[in-house]
Structure formats: C-alpha cells, structure tokens
A and B are shown apart, each in its own frame.
Chain A
C-alpha cells in the first residue's frame, strides 16, 4: 500500500519573463493506493496530476509531506535507500514512441532489467529468457515474433504493451499509467485498458490511472477510487462511479459537462456546468481556487478556502462550501 500525506511541490519558473515566479503544483495532497486497488487522478492539464504521479513513481522530488510505501516512511530513508522501494512503482508513459529505445530490440529492452533481477535473486540466463517470454505473453504479445524486433516495427498499441511488459519485469506493486492510451489508436485503446484491468485481477498489481478522459478511468474497475484534482488540490474524491454519476463539486461537474455527447445515441445532461473563464494558474487566490471560474460562487468562496470533507449521505468527499448534486453527464437515449 502506498500512502501520501500533505504532499506539496512548488516549481520555480525559469526564463526571462516569468523568472522567479513560483507555481504551486501540489498543495498538500493526501492519497492512498491500496494493495491491488485502483485509483485514478483526473483534472485539466496543469492541475498537478502528472506531477503527483511522477512523485509517486519516484521520478520527481517533493517539497513537503510524507510518502509511505508498505508502511516504510520515505523520509526515514536516505535518497539511495529509497530506490528499491520506488522500483516497485513503475510508470507507463503516455508516449510509447519515446518510451522505448529505438536502437534496442525488444529482447535487449527486457533483458537489462531481468538480468538485474536475476542477479539479485541468483537465477540464471535460462530464467531470464523464460521470464522475458512470460511477461510478453502476459501482455498479450507473441514472444516468438516480438522479441527480435525493434520498436519501430511495432504498432503504437504493441509498443505500449511492450512498455507494460518491461514494467512487469521488476514485479511491480503499482503501475502508474499516465495518459497511457491517449496516443494510441481509438480501436486499440480499449485493449490496453482491458490489459491493465486484467493484470490487476491476475497479478494483484495496483493501478494508478492518470487521465483527463474521465470515461476511460471507469475501465480500471468499479471498486476504483477517483481523485479530482484542481490546481494542486483534491477537490472531490470517492468511488469512480459515484463521482461520475453524482458529482457535487462544480469543478467535477464542469469536467464531466465538457465530455462530448454522442448525439443520436446519448442525451446531454440537464444541468451542464460551464466554467465562466479559462484556467489561469498565475493568479493566487485567498479563497477557493475554483471561485473565479465557478458559476455558483458566493461571497464566502472569495475569502475562505474549503477543505476536503465528507459529504453527508454520500460516499464521496469534496472541497466545496455549497456542494450540490447536478445532472451533468450524457446518458443513453431511451430505446438505444
């Protein structure tokens, strides 16, 4: 289980115009990825979801807060000692084209981490070859035809499967999928999503899904937890289907309202929420971070910042003074 408490991260802008200006990417985020569980982070680009994912995968440092991996607090360890812990958390990058070294065959790509693993556990070359074939079969690829190939000889979907296979070579506990299907052909996306779901069920790997496409995050399983992140703060959190079907935070509602409606198949929700302006991360607010864009803001929202709290009579938490259920998502037309 991976836990996070009050994670903060501030980026300093570089360059001449914005030099020295600070951007708060994360403002004290708590999270919990249960063993074998599924969690998704959703939000607009620049909301901090990717930064958080990278922090969890150990690819980025954080300024404040505490991360615990299976009960071990990372702050109690030196930088070098953390590495084996973070190795159990593997990142699946968005772009399968840059995630594989174009000069190395799939065999070489899988061999290097397996060799390391074999050395740690005292296994031989034969095990490496068997395991390479095994992880490829796990992700639905035929080892015989894939091993000797170079990445450019594979389609986007196959590359992403190889990337997942490579992550599996270290027996990870968590897979962090950062927009893992957004660069893959539409007809193949579902295959990758199904694979992640399947790995969860078969291997008990937890999946952290980072996406701006809300509907795909449903695919990780209905026991999944969804975190809606806005400007570095979790504004709503709860079971995936609850947050999608019964959102109470206006930001979640505007995200859901923006999803294209398949006219002819679906009817738009009755109460769509449209933000009154575009996101402007440069303006610091004293009160609610979403207040300037919120169509329902009250005076209190300008001066006081709401914290994540439990919704009465609902399973999710939210950070809004005036939570209200609104009917925002498209639903299938009757008779279709």
Chain B
C-alpha cells in the first residue's frame, strides 16, 4: 500500500504544507503582505543596514540641522550627520533589544504559565502569587531607577531587563489557556494513553497556544521598542549609543524641533520608523490565528 511509503516522508511533507498554508494565509489580505514586507525590511535594516555606513558617521560643520533635501531625505542633525543614516544605524540597538525582550518574555512567560496551569496545586499558587507581585511593580519608575545604576550600553542588557519586567502578562494568559485546554478530551486521552508529560506539553498543548504566544511575542516587540525609546528620549541614559530614542531626545532638546521647522525631519524620521514598525507588526498579528489553526489555514 502506498500509505507506508507516504508516511515515511510525512514530517517533511507536513512542514512543506505548513509553509504553503502560511503563504496562503498571507496572500489572503494585501495588508498582511504589507506587514510582512515592513517587518522583513526592518529586519534587513537592523542586520545589514549599519554595514553600509562607517562606524562613526562623518560630521559636517557646513550642513548642520538641514531641512530635508534630495541629498539628505530627512535632513541632517546638529552635527551635520545624515538623519536616514542615523535611523538605520540606530535600528540595530532598538530591534536587537526588542527581539531579546520578546524572546525572554515568551520563554519565561510561556514556561511559567504552562507549568503553573498544567501542574496546578501548590506550584500554581506560589508561581501565580509571584507573577501577581511582579505585575504590581510599576515598570517605568523601576527602569528609571535602574538606569541610574546601569548604563544599558549593550542592547542585550536592555532586552534582558525589559524582558524580565514583561513576562507577567504572558504567564497569566498562557496559564489561563492551559487550564482550559487541559480539560479538553484530547489532553485527557493523551494522559490515558500513557504519553509523557513532555509530549503532552510540547506536542499537544503548545501548538494549540501557538497563535496566542506568537501574538504576545509580536506585541512584546512593540512594547519593548516604546519602552527603550522612551527611556532614551527622557534622557536618563547616556547619549553615546546610536538609538532612535537618543535621536528624538536630541531633536527636541538640542535641535529644537519643536520651535524651528528645519529640525522637523530629525524628529519625524525616528518617529516614522517606530510607527512603521508598529504598523507592520499589527498587520501581521492579524494573520496569526489563521496561520496556526489548520482549519483556517486551508480554507
């Protein structure tokens, strides 16, 4: 029978089917494709962008705070550096720390949520108390305090701190999902069949929560971008790193973008970058449900 031949290559076929399904889901609405293009664009910019520019951008005393022109699309900064180049160079820090935040948020939040919801009982109570306490910590003030002792020169440090501050919501949400899913027949059946807890959690529970987790991850990215840009903008962190927040801060407080129109490009460029990134994420989040639900994926 052909069945046996077929099923040996089943997992490869499955993977191909999955990506075909993803492609179908993405094609369904043009907005999703736009979102994907935006996100890929940002990823490209963060990874390869800085390579196109010298490590230290050249100053130009003759072109300080220029308005947008053909040469400098968004004008120049008070040191005469090209704003577009600054945005591109700043993107690496922003995106890298956002990615680190997202990974930590999702890994810690999902792990704790799953464990808590699946084990229930005493562990659940303790972990959820911890989560609740964590949720009561006001994020921004704490970051401000931390910033006085730690300089966050490295995007990994920034991502780590933001991630450790941000997993509470995900943990709660994943736990709630786990609690409702574990009552479902297929989980009970898996236990009745004697399948291992690793299998049940990894292969049965996790995929059912994938859209949830993916959405939370994407939203965590936006949150992290806002939080760090905010910190730099407030000026509580050192100026030496290339960062959109630093740009915003300098645009307002040094170049005076609020009063003089020449510096408007300097202010708008990082803002537009943040808006565009958020937009891209919002457009893609819309597809998550359909990507991970086989029924919606194929219809």
Where the two chains meet, the residues of A that have a C-beta atom closer than 8 Å to any C-beta of B are: 57-59, 83-84, 86-87, 90-91, 93, 95, 98-105, 107-108, 112-113, 116, 125-126, 129-130, 132-133, 143-144, 147-148, 150, 152, 163, 166-167, 169-170
Complex CA–CA separation, A53 to B221 (angstroms)? 48
| Contacts known (A99-B185, A144-B2); A113 close to B195, Cβ less than 8 A | yes
Chain B residues lying within 8 Å of A133, measured Cβ to Cβ, are 1, 3-4
Interchain CB contact (< 8 A) of B208 among A95, A101, A113, A143: A101
Chain A: CB-nearest residue to B297: A150
| Contacts known (A95-B185, A103-B294, A152-B295); A144 close to B3, Cβ less than 8 A | yes
Is the Cβ of B194 less than 8 Å from the Cβ of A113?
yes
Interchain CB contact (< 8 A) of B186 among A100, A125, A132: A100
Chain B residues lying within 8 Å of A167, measured Cβ to Cβ, are 189, 193
Chain B residues lying within 8 Å of A105, measured Cβ to Cβ, are 14
Please report the total number of B residues contacting A with Cβ < 8 Å: 33
Interchain CB contact (< 8 A) of A116 among B184, B185, B195: B195
In the complex, what's the smallest C-beta–C-beta distance from B129 to chain A, in angstroms? 20
Query: Does B188 count as interface, using CB distance less than 8 angstroms?
Result: yes
In the complex, what's the smallest C-beta–C-beta distance from B137 to chain A, in angstroms? 31
In the complex, what's the smallest C-beta–C-beta distance from B141 to chain A, in angstroms? 37
Is the Cβ of A104 less than 8 Å from the Cβ of B207?
yes
Complex CA–CA separation, A152 to B4 (angstroms)? 23
Query: Does B190 count as interface, using CB distance less than 8 angstroms?
Result: yes
| Contacts known (A102-B295, A147-B3); A166 close to B189, Cβ less than 8 A | yes
Is the Cβ of B295 less than 8 Å from the Cβ of A150?
yes
Query: Does B124 count as interface, using CB distance less than 8 angstroms?
Result: no
Is the Cβ of B194 less than 8 Å from the Cβ of A93?
no
Complex CA–CA separation, A245 to B17 (angstroms)? 55
Complex CA–CA separation, A163 to B186 (angstroms)? 9
Complex CA–CA separation, A95 to B188 (angstroms)? 12
Complex CA–CA separation, A133 to B13 (angstroms)? 18
Is the Cβ of B4 less than 8 Å from the Cβ of A130?
yes
Is the Cβ of B185 less than 8 Å from the Cβ of A148?
no
Chain B: CB-nearest residue to A94: B185
Chain B residues lying within 8 Å of A86, measured Cβ to Cβ, are 192
Is the Cβ of B8 less than 8 Å from the Cβ of A103?
no
Cβ contacts A to B, 17 pairs, < 8 Å: A83-B194, A95-B185, A100-B185, A100-B186, A101-B207, A102-B293, A104-B203, A108-B203, A112-B193, A133-B4, A143-B1, A144-B1, A147-B7, A147-B10, A148-B10, A148-B13, A170-B194
Chain A: CB-nearest residue to B294: A150
Query: Does B286 count as interface, using CB distance less than 8 angstroms?
Result: no
Is the Cβ of B208 less than 8 Å from the Cβ of A93?
no
